Structure 1
Amino acid sequence: MSNFFKKVLGKRNSIWGFFFLTIVLFWIKTYIVYQTEFTLGAKGSVQEFLLLINPIPAGLLIFGIALYFRGRLAYWLMMIISFLESTWIFANIVYYREFSDFLSVGIIKGSGDVSNNLSKSLSEIIHPSDFAVYLDVILLILLLVFKVIKIDKRPLKRRYAFTMTVVSLGLIGAEFGMANADRSGLLTRTFDNNYIVKYLGLNEFAAFSAYQSQKESSTRANASSSDMRSVLKFLKKNRASANTEYYGTEKGKNVFVIHLESFQQFLIDYKVDGKTVTPNLNKFFHNKNTLSFDNFYNQVGQGKTSDAEMMLENSLFGLSQGSAMTTYGTQNTFQAAPSILDQHGYTTAAFHGDVPSFWNRDNTYKSWGYDYFFSSSYYKQKAEYNVGYGMKDKIFFDQSAKYLQQLPQPFYAKLITLTNHYPYEIGKEDTDFPETKTGDKTVDSYAQTAHYLDQSFGELISYLKKAGLYKNSMFVLYGDHYGISNNHRPAIAKLLGKSKITSYDLAQFQKVPFMIHADGLKGGINHTYGGEIDVLPTLLDLLGIKNTTTVQFGNDLLSKNRKQLVAFRNGNFVSPKYTKVGTTVYDTKTGDELKLTKQQKTEVSALQNHVTTELSLSDRVIYGDLLRFYEPDGFEKTNKKKYNYKLENGLDQLKKAQKKEPTSAQAKNKEKVTAEYKTDAPELK
């Protein structure tokens, strides 16, 4: 062993000298990135120490692979590994900057489904300074090329390389032991990837993510019908009864679901330079026939928009890693809103001005039972019609009108807007609304695209009133997720008029609008605490559709005996009394950090157990595809094979429906266009 350490402390031109120089550079680089690019929230000496040293154990293991080879090959292997490590760090910097999360295997596996139009966003996200992560690789190459360091061609005894492997594995074990002592159940109970990186490191997170992905695949293979028992037992125990005052009041009405992309609650009634950002949505929010929820939160994880859709239409949570729609949307069985409503006489359709493969919608929507999916091929395309992630909202709504008036009634129609999507691009010809003045380029155009979305919504409502599709319809508006990520804290503080932003503020910043409007509906602002997981049971109760046997983890927002607990995907939660972020608990009413009494600890622990249980059981349903084993009374499994969303098939299906079910607005108007759609979109003038 003494000989081993003599080698370790050898000259710079030895293989050991180059190896440890590579490790030190990798270590310094990674720690700088931890401190400057990620918000890991290390608290206390143990967490700070682990954050400091966590690049080393995995670095010794991975770079140590090169020690099993000799001469030039060993040196170039170390540089190749260094380049790959730098690329992994670079990718996570870019991803974290926008999504406040790390790249998982689930996200990488689904990247083909979500990468359309991503280049524009990347050009906004990437900073020139990000490429500094490659400086150590360049330095090492230069040192070798100019022979400042000479290649040691002497063979290294395998036992030394093996010793390094053993030492590194021992350090990884010790690191995990310290981490688990400070954060019990680190890899079994937490839903926050920040914790894994903070305690163990980026490489360990990658390994854990790969393990999770493999585990998910085997879970489905090993699942059985008996696994549904614990799910059904939990749901039966926690299901809230319908509110008799509202149950069935909207029976038989059309349902419009308006997906407000990246739209946050603070925009309602918000002004910039004295000008109202969303006058149309404000009017809708305060209408006497609108149920508006001001404590409604987005609950998305890495899947963002796809997670919101999963919750909205299935009352199942998104996954802790990746997107359930991209990974499981094709193969899994679901009890989704389109399928439920289809079996109660509804025509179901989704509208989206982008390619059908985005978030794997073309396959997932078949699993959910959508009759129609009007995607980019159904719309007239011109370069000036698109921005960012797809078609501009005004043009999208204008072109969707001809399909809306042909849908047999009653129908369920979901329209997904896009313009208010990062990087919030909008031309001068599309808006004269002022930017906010936070000094953050990403944030300051957000109000402009939100204003454009609001104008688009106003035009759609005007058309529906003229087309005869307004009075007999129920409108559901929801923001799918945050528009401004937690990485823009100084800008958020300025937007909210605060000097400093706390973790409590960021948790409350996750509020998004949720409104339900219909003629004659008893409206008002409802202060109940809820989230996207609760939308489906709320809508079904309003429509008078029995849903006491289907698998839904949410509860009717109008129920008088519902449990007001909002679970976030990372395991944090909000209730009327407590807001829990990481290990810190705040008073929800005041925002004050609490030093918990014994009774409070008991209450918080009970809430945390509920959150952990429901997230775990929802994951179990998706990972194991458990709904294939369960067919509740009154529901038939969706036959995916009967759906075809190609343009020619969809148009032919729509044409036949006009004759078979002449209940559409157009059919009732003797096959004539019911109303002209009016928009001020400059591209259509």
Structure 2
Amino acid sequence: MQRLVSTIRKWWPDFNSTVGFFILSVFLVTLKTYWAYQFEFSLGATGALQQFLLILNPIPTAIILLSIALYFRGRIAYWLMMLINLLQTVWLFANILYYREFSDFISLNIVKAGGSVDNNLSKAIGGIIKPIDFVVYIDLIVLLILLLLKIIKVDKTLIQKRFAILMTVFGVVLMMVDFGIASKDRSGLLTRTFDNNYIVKYLGLNEYAAYNIVKTNQQANEVKEAKSSDLDKIKAFTKQNKVLANATTFGKAKGKNVIIFHLESFQQFMLDYRWDGQEVTPNLNAFYHDTNTTSFDNFYNQVGQGKTSDAELMLENSLYGTASGSVMTNYGTTNTFQAMPSVLDQMGYTTAAFHGDVPSFWNRDNAYKSWGYQYFFSKSYYKDPDNPNYNIGYGLKDKIFLKDTASYLQQLPQPFYAKIITVTNHYPYDLDSQNISIKKTTTGDSTVDGYVQTARYLDQAFGEFESYLKKAGLWNKTMIVLYGDHYGISTNHQPAIAKLLGKKKLSATDLVNWEKVPFMVRVPGMKGGINHTYGGEIDVMPTLLGLLGIKDEQVVQFGTDLLSSEHRQVVPFRNGDWVSSEYTKIGSSYYVTATGTKIKPSEDPRVKQIIKETNKFVTQTLDYNDKLIQGNLLRFASKSELKRVNKKNISYKTSTGIANLKAAQKKGTSVKAQNGGKSTLDKYVTNAPELGGIKQTLNNDDNDLVDGIKESSILGDDSNVSATPESILSGHGSDNSKKTTDSSSSSSSSSSSSSK
């Protein structure tokens, strides 16, 4: 026993020594930071490794910063450690408050904005602070008392500089170790920034601050060097490439509502795809072939590292993502944009985005303001958003999300522009058993085989939403757009892809065509069909503006109207490759697009010239695009060319959004207002088992699906359906418990009606 006590005394730090006080300070800073990670922030740490990183990542900067005091002696060293601890605590405390309100961390741009940040956060600070928040200051108070009462005595011994340097170096090495482990678990952590939560979770709150400062300064330098003449060159380039509108289709959707349905990770090959003797996506197939739907079967995703955020950027701005990172994350807060929501707002449209995840993901809460979205209905607007049964992967399950989305959609003054982002069909394509209605594929690749199950679930959710639009009277008053944001199965899974496509071997052009995603536009009364024009996400905005009858001469766009006969059928990819209606470039090789045959351009003067011109066009396009974004060049546009968005007038706080929506009912143009002020949610039918529907099942004997819903089972008593946004937040309505289902497929009714 004496030996044990002796050993403990030998290794236990003497807190009356400078080194002992240093170790104690490092421990206390780490402890309270880890406490905040667990109880004040929602970092989504899962598994032992990520939990270990939460403990590890506060330590390196605590050692580095506190070791500054070791270069001094006596009282100066102790008070320096107290001051450094205080500064870190103030930073931690400020982020706790900011995160509670905005689900994000303080950035340098937010600090620069001062008291006017995001609708005057400081005015509401009293309502944000909770007594528990002051826990982070307790250690400082205790240490101060111990020092003042001399319970901890100041050691006046000089610390050897070698030891001080060793501690600083140790902190740096430990930071590198943390970064190495984090990078292994999350590749491209700093180059492909999804969300500030990832930086904090893997590297730490202090490291996030350093990263944000570096990125902000890089962007500031690019902006400083930019000139208005740079924008003039780009305007000349985009004007040269503009095309004449299609006289037949221009304005066909003029004045109609617009709903853009974002099909997460959904690829073109899945349309009309059959597995296990059945259509995987019958509702989407019916929409694809609807007589009023124009469907593009040579439409490619063109995303870079920004993935979904790049798709949204192209969709609503006709701008490519940059070579690295996400434009929405890196530039969404500070840049000037000329986005679809802003353009349509000037035309009298109500603009809204819907997403069943936290608003900070991809910096949407800031980027959407820059784009001019009046409303952003994120996770906090939905009933019981943290219920684990309602969530999967990156947010709310699609069926639950879409049913609540309808409750807000019915209250938007018409005409409206609404973007609805689904998430269930997202990697790793896991789905709880109660929602599975089709068997996995049998490629042997565990990453791939669940894809058909989540795609089927997405299809069912869309079918339910489509049925509601018809019953609520929106189907023939709305231009409905469906698009896939990016691939769901990467080309790293070639053996599985070959099996899905029924091929023994994949060619280089097969892999390029694997990047195709759906793009479908249904305009009531306009004849549709399958359109074979080559295009990509960069072309969506000009195509939709044309259908809406909006002239876009003043809009800087890198895409062109897919319906124009002058549309240049060249699809640039972010890495410099491209595909056209004639040829395809992959690396330094070229192929005939139709056949996949590899060619040597030098052997044919005509081919050589076409490829030379196309390479020049693609290189110039991407170069000008990056200069436009990185230099924030649209700020130089005149007021007659671009109407600025007043972001100070936009708030996505739940209470503010609900109040604004309630006030907007006075216009009398919303679906709900036109229904005598009564909710239309009695018309929304879902078979989501979480809301009282029947569980999806598979009959192992004959593989029959129990996939349907009996639409007549919904009660029509509007008193049981939420009639105000406030009541939507308090519950889905008592009708959910009264749904019943039968074996008739939910897709059958929507398929037959949409093909009429």
Whether the 8 Å CA contact 1:259–1:417 is kept in 2: the answer is: yes
Q: Once the 2 structures are TM-superposed, how far is the Cα of residue 77 of structure 1 from its aligned partner? A: 11
Residue in 1 aligned with 2:668?
Answer: 662
Q: 2:269 aligns with which of 262, 266, 271?
A: 266
Query: Hey, which bits of structure 1, 4+ residues long, moved more than 3 A?
Result: 70-96, 113-118, 210-217, 631-635
Letter in 1 for 2:314: M
Residue in 2 aligned with 1:255?
Answer: 258
Whether the 8 Å CA contact 2:335–2:370 is kept in 1: the answer is: yes
SS, match of residue 192 in structure 2: helix
Residue in 2 aligned with 1:629?
Answer: 636
Q: In the alignment, is residue 519 of structure 1 matched against residue 603 of structure 2?
A: no
Q: Go from structure 1 to structure 2 and tell me whether the alpha carbon gap of 1:82 and 1:650 turns closer, same or farther (over 3 Å shift).
A: closer
Distance 2:300 2:180 in 1: 31
Q: Once the 2 structures are TM-superposed, how far is the Cα of residue 631 of structure 1 from its aligned partner? A: 3.2
Whether the 8 Å CA contact 1:116–1:358 is kept in 2: the answer is: no
SS, match of residue 579 in structure 1: strand
SS, match of residue 549 in structure 2: coil
Whether the 8 Å CA contact 1:113–1:326 is kept in 2: the answer is: no
Whether the 8 Å CA contact 2:533–2:569 is kept in 1: the answer is: yes
Q: In the alignment, is residue 372 of structure 1 matched against residue 375 of structure 2?
A: yes
Q: Go from structure 1 to structure 2 and tell me whether the alpha carbon gap of 1:311 and 1:114 turns closer, same or farther (over 3 Å shift).
A: farther
TM-superposition CA deviations, 1:390-410 (whole Å, max 9, x none): 000000010111111110000
SS, match of residue 334 in structure 1: coil
Q: Once the 2 structures are TM-superposed, how far is the Cα of residue 84 of structure 1 from its aligned partner? A: 7.1
SS, match of residue 294 in structure 1: strand
Distance 2:500 2:390 in 1: 30
Distance 2:176 2:491 in 1: 26
Q: 1:494 aligns with which of 491, 499, 504?
A: 499
TM-superposition CA deviations, 1:282-330 (whole Å, max 9, x none): 0000111100000000000001000000000000101110000011001
Which 10-residue stretch deviates more, 498-507 or 298-307? 498-507
Distance 1:211 1:573 in 2: 33
Distance 1:213 1:494 in 2: 46
Q: Once the 2 structures are TM-superposed, how far is the Cα of residue 80 of structure 1 from its aligned partner? A: 9.3
Distance 1:111 1:656 in 2: 33
Q: Go from structure 1 to structure 2 and tell me whether the alpha carbon gap of 1:363 and 1:280 turns closer, same or farther (over 3 Å shift).
A: same
Residue in 1 aligned with 2:196?
Answer: 112
Whether the 8 Å CA contact 1:504–1:591 is kept in 2: the answer is: yes
Q: In the alignment, is residue 504 of structure 1 matched against residue 509 of structure 2?
A: yes
Whether the 8 Å CA contact 1:289–1:523 is kept in 2: the answer is: yes
Q: 2:558 aligns with which of 550, 553, 558?
A: 553
Q: 1:393 aligns with which of 389, 398, 405?
A: 398
Q: Go from structure 1 to structure 2 and tell me whether the alpha carbon gap of 1:249 and 1:654 turns closer, same or farther (over 3 Å shift).
A: same
Q: Go from structure 1 to structure 2 and tell me whether the alpha carbon gap of 1:650 and 1:343 turns closer, same or farther (over 3 Å shift).
A: same
Q: Once the 2 structures are TM-superposed, how far is the Cα of residue 231 of structure 1 from its aligned partner? A: 0.2
Letter in 2 for 1:312: L
Q: In the alignment, is residue 314 of structure 1 matched against residue 331 of structure 2?
A: no
Distance 2:177 2:580 in 1: 41
Q: 2:412 aligns with which of 364, 386, 407?
A: 407
Letter in 2 for 1:674: T
Distance 1:276 1:326 in 2: 38
Residue in 2 aligned with 1:674?
Answer: 680
SS, match of residue 666 in structure 1: helix
Residue in 2 aligned with 1:586?
Answer: 591
Distance 2:537 2:525 in 1: 24
Distance 1:81 1:325 in 2: 31
Q: Which runs of 5+ in 2 are unaligned?
A: 1-160, 203-212, 693-756
Whether the 8 Å CA contact 1:313–1:337 is kept in 2: the answer is: yes
Which 10-residue stretch deviates more, 608-617 or 255-264? 608-617
Q: How does 1:231-246 map to 2 (within 5 A)?
A: 231-246=234-249
Q: Go from structure 1 to structure 2 and tell me whether the alpha carbon gap of 1:385 and 1:467 turns closer, same or farther (over 3 Å shift).
A: same
Q: Go from structure 1 to structure 2 and tell me whether the alpha carbon gap of 1:366 and 1:436 turns closer, same or farther (over 3 Å shift).
A: same
Distance 1:300 1:268 in 2: 21
SS, match of residue 350 in structure 1: strand
Q: Using CA pairs below 8 Å that are at least 6 residues apart, which structure has the higher relative contact order?
A: 1
Residue in 2 aligned with 1:474?
Answer: 479
Q: How does 1:412-451 map to 2 (within 5 A)?
A: 412-451=417-456
Residue in 2 aligned with 1:187?
Answer: none
Distance 2:297 2:198 in 1: 31
Distance 1:411 1:621 in 2: 29
Q: Once the 2 structures are TM-superposed, how far is the Cα of residue 82 of structure 1 from its aligned partner? A: 8.8
Residue in 2 aligned with 1:21?
Answer: none
Q: How does 1:597-616 map to 2 (within 5 A)?
A: 597-598=602-603, 599=605, 600-616=607-623
Distance 1:90 1:477 in 2: 39
Q: How does 1:28-427 map to 2 (within 5 A)?
A: 94-95=185-186, 102-103=188-189, 105-108=190-193, 111-112=195-196, 216-381=219-384, 382-427=387-432
Q: 2:659 aligns with which of 648, 652, 669?
A: 652
Q: Once the 2 structures are TM-superposed, how far is the Cα of residue 278 of structure 1 from its aligned partner? A: 0.5
Whether the 8 Å CA contact 2:406–2:681 is kept in 1: the answer is: no
Whether the 8 Å CA contact 1:466–1:675 is kept in 2: the answer is: no
TM-superposition CA deviations, 1:604-627 (whole Å, max 9, x none): 222111111111111111101111
Q: Once the 2 structures are TM-superposed, how far is the Cα of residue 73 of structure 1 from its aligned partner? A: 12
Distance 2:440 2:200 in 1: 28
Q: Go from structure 1 to structure 2 and tell me whether the alpha carbon gap of 1:506 and 1:546 turns closer, same or farther (over 3 Å shift).
A: same
SS, match of residue 605 in structure 1: helix
Percent of residue pairs bearing the same amino acid type = 55
Letter in 2 for 1:614: T
Whether the 8 Å CA contact 2:257–2:414 is kept in 1: the answer is: yes
Distance 1:524 1:117 in 2: 48
Which 10-residue stretch deviates more, 438-447 or 668-677? 668-677
TM-superposition CA deviations, 1:511-570 (whole Å, max 9, x none): 000000022111010001000000000001100011111111110010001111101011
SS, match of residue 652 in structure 1: helix
Which 10-residue stretch deviates more, 71-80 or 227-236? 71-80
TM-superposition CA deviations, 1:436-491 (whole Å, max 9, x none): 11111110001100000000000001011111111110000000000011211111
Distance 1:217 1:276 in 2: 52
Letter in 1 for 2:334: Q
TM-superposition CA deviations, 1:138-181 (whole Å, max 9, x none): xxxxxxxxxxxxxxxxxxxxxxxxxxxxxxxxxxxxxxxxxxxx
Q: Which runs of 5+ in 1 are unaligned?
A: 1-69, 97-101, 119-209
Q: Once the 2 structures are TM-superposed, how far is the Cα of residue 501 of structure 1 from its aligned partner? A: 2.4
Distance 2:218 2:514 in 1: 34
Q: Go from structure 1 to structure 2 and tell me whether the alpha carbon gap of 1:500 and 1:644 turns closer, same or farther (over 3 Å shift).
A: same
Residue in 2 aligned with 1:13?
Answer: none
Structure with max Cα Rg: 2
Which 10-residue stretch deviates more, 246-255 or 75-84? 75-84
SS, match of residue 406 in structure 2: helix
TM-superposition CA deviations, 1:612-652 (whole Å, max 9, x none): 11111111111011111103636411111110010110011
Distance 1:553 1:314 in 2: 9
TM-score of the superposition, structure 1-length normalised?
0.72
Count how many residue pairs are aligned between Structure 1 and Structure 2.
Answer: 519
Residue in 1 aligned with 2:745?
Answer: none
Q: Go from structure 1 to structure 2 and tell me whether the alpha carbon gap of 1:78 and 1:637 turns closer, same or farther (over 3 Å shift).
A: closer
Q: Go from structure 1 to structure 2 and tell me whether the alpha carbon gap of 1:75 and 1:494 turns closer, same or farther (over 3 Å shift).
A: farther
Whether the 8 Å CA contact 1:278–1:450 is kept in 2: the answer is: yes
Whether the 8 Å CA contact 1:373–1:645 is kept in 2: the answer is: yes
Residue in 1 aligned with 2:544?
Answer: 539
Q: 2:459 aligns with which of 454, 458, 468?
A: 454
SS, match of residue 417 in structure 2: strand
